[in-house]
Amino acid sequence: MSAALVEVPILWTSDDAAAATGGRIDGLPWDATGVALDSRNVMPGDLFVALKGDQTDGHAFLADAFKRGAVAAMVHEIPAARPSRPLLVVKDTMAGLMALAARARARSQARIVSVTGSVGKTGTKEALRLALSAHGSTYASPGNLNSSTGAPLSLARLPDDAAFAVLELGMNRAGEIGPNARVARAHGAIVTTVEAVHLQFFPSVEAIADAKAEVFEGLAPGAFAVINRDNPHFERLAAKARASGVARIIGFGTHTLAEARLIDVALNEAESTVVVEILGRRHVYRLPVPGRHWAMNTLAVLGAVAGLGLPLEPSFTALGRLNVLKGRGLRQTIRLVGGGSFELIDDSYNASPVSVAGALEILGRIPPMPGGRRIAILGDMRELGAAGPSLHAGLAPAVSANRIDQVFLVGPLMRHLAEALPPALIATRTETSTEMAPIAAAAIRAGDVVTVKGSLGTNMAPIVGALAARGRVAGGR
């Protein structure tokens, strides 16, 4: 018996897309069920947008996009070997993508919350998606589509029937969040925190705070802002929010003046029990993930739920189903081929000083099996500018405080951490992750608990793959 076909709603008709972008249809009419920028990610039914960047030009991948099932392509250059599939011809495809985003926002009745911050954006976005799903159909930016191109792509994919939407807005330079925030016209905004991240492109952490505050630009009338009350830049961010017309500011954290206040959190290796006070009322809820940072992320989430005027109880229940994402703290038991097992925590997607300290804290709470060790495999934290050496060396207290038994280090900047640690703790240091992968995989033994963390540019994924290849995955959480 064949499986029933699932009908995918039409997202863009050729007429709608042409009207939104001011473009011209070249070929037969079409209906698109999605939008894609990378030909490798095209799904059948997508509209492929051929962006031209500094390194690559999407126009060179039209054939690949159509081979993968694109129904049409948005272009600003018609290739000499004209494809047989329909084209949407515009003056500029980046402007065309922004126009699709603006039109999707204009036709949507969804109540939208934008999320930004130096760390915790994606985890907070996913937790808020889950919390709002308890109140109605909720759309959220897929994966980490938060850049100057990823954010408008997320908006261009916004379904007409969504009751809520959560948009992640990221940046590594000033002026990148503002244009997308003005298109999103969100009903609320969350700033998770402001930390020493992307210092390579900013003169100070205060300048980073100002760039994050661009999320308040273009907010809908009566909008709210949820801001980390414990962060030293709270008042700076709050002033920026008020200047942008924000009607209500909700602070979150442990601060006595926080409207969403953390009273207590009981942490163990697998979950957290959180006691909070939201708008003067005390609540207790459980998170099936470990780590104080998750409690803080969900405080911001609950502040946004309250800002939307929704009851909190359904969201508490929904947060009890929270999952950790691959590369962002996913924990797996690896059964070794020769017997025994070890715990692998894949936190390899990205890294900053505050997030590495958080990962080491979680590792410190997990007891190894008899004969096992706590092992941290740490890669360079990128985009820290002149502060990079001192910020890497500054991780040494967190390594010691969390009783890490052995450290494997990847990258030239990790030399500074190696110099700050007792030599007995350093297993080895390599320049690249590909060099480290077989070394680390050979060193792991039954009973170990292993965390892998580093910046995206350091590419720690090969190490995770080599460790997983030591056996088979018995479970993840």
pLDDT tens-digit readout, 375-403: 999 999 998 999 999 999 999 999 999 99
Whether the pLDDT of residue 14 is over 70: the answer is yes
Give the global pTM: 0.87
CATH class of 108-319: alpha beta
> Is the Cβ–Cβ distance between 218 and 182 less than 8 Å?
yes
Angle of helix 353-364 relative to helix 292-307, nearest 10 degrees? 120
Q: Give the model's pLDDT for residue 251.
A: 98
* Strands lying side by side in the sheet with 164-168: 138-140, 164-168, 111-116, 188-191, 224-228, 248-253, 260-267, 272-278, 281-287
Whether the pLDDT of residue 87 is over 70: the answer is yes
Residues 6+ apart with CB under 8 A from 116: 146, 168, 169, 170, 171, 177, 189, 190, 191, 192, 212, 215
Q: Where in the chain is the domain with CATH 3.40.1190.10?
A: 108-319
**pLDDT confidence bin for 363, thresholds 50/70/90:** very high
Q: State the CB neighbour count (10 A cutoff) for residue 413.
A: 20
Q: Where in the chain is the domain with CATH 3.90.190.20?
A: 330-476
> Is the Cβ–Cβ distance between 431 and 412 less than 8 Å?
yes
Whether the pLDDT of residue 59 is over 70: the answer is yes
Q: What are phi and psi of 311, to 5 degrees?
A: -70, 145
* Residue reference for tokens 């939307």: 308
Q: Where in the chain is the domain with CATH 3.40.1390.10?
A: 12-91
Measured distance CA(93)–CA(76) in Å, rounded: 6
Measured distance CA(59)–CA(419) in Å, rounded: 48
Q: Give the model's pLDDT for residue 472.
A: 64
Q: What would be the CATH architecture of the domain defined by 330-476?
A: Alpha-Beta Complex (3.90)
Condensed to tens digits (0 to 9), the pLDDT of residues 302-334 reads 999 999 999 999 999 999 999 887 888 889 999
Q: How does the average pLDDT of the chain come out, rounded?
A: 94
Measured distance CA(186)–CA(311) in Å, rounded: 20
pLDDT (average), residues 172-197: 95
Angle of helix 177-184 relative to helix 93-107, nearest 10 degrees? 30
Measured distance CA(29)–CA(45) in Å, rounded: 13
Whether the pLDDT of residue 196 is over 90: the answer is no
Q: Give the model's pLDDT for residue 284.
A: 96
Whether the pLDDT of residue 474 is over 60: the answer is no
Q: Give the model's pLDDT for residue 186.
A: 98
Q: Give the model's pLDDT for residue 15.
A: 97
Q: Give the model's pLDDT for residue 199.
A: 82
Superfamily assignment of 12-91 in CATH? MurE/MurF, N-terminal domain (3.40.1390.10)
Instruction: Provide the CA 454 distance to its chain's centre, in angstroms.
Output: 15
Q: Of all residues in the chain, what percent carry a pLDDT higher than 90?
A: 85
The radius of gyration of the chain's CA atoms, rounded to the nearest angstrom, is 23
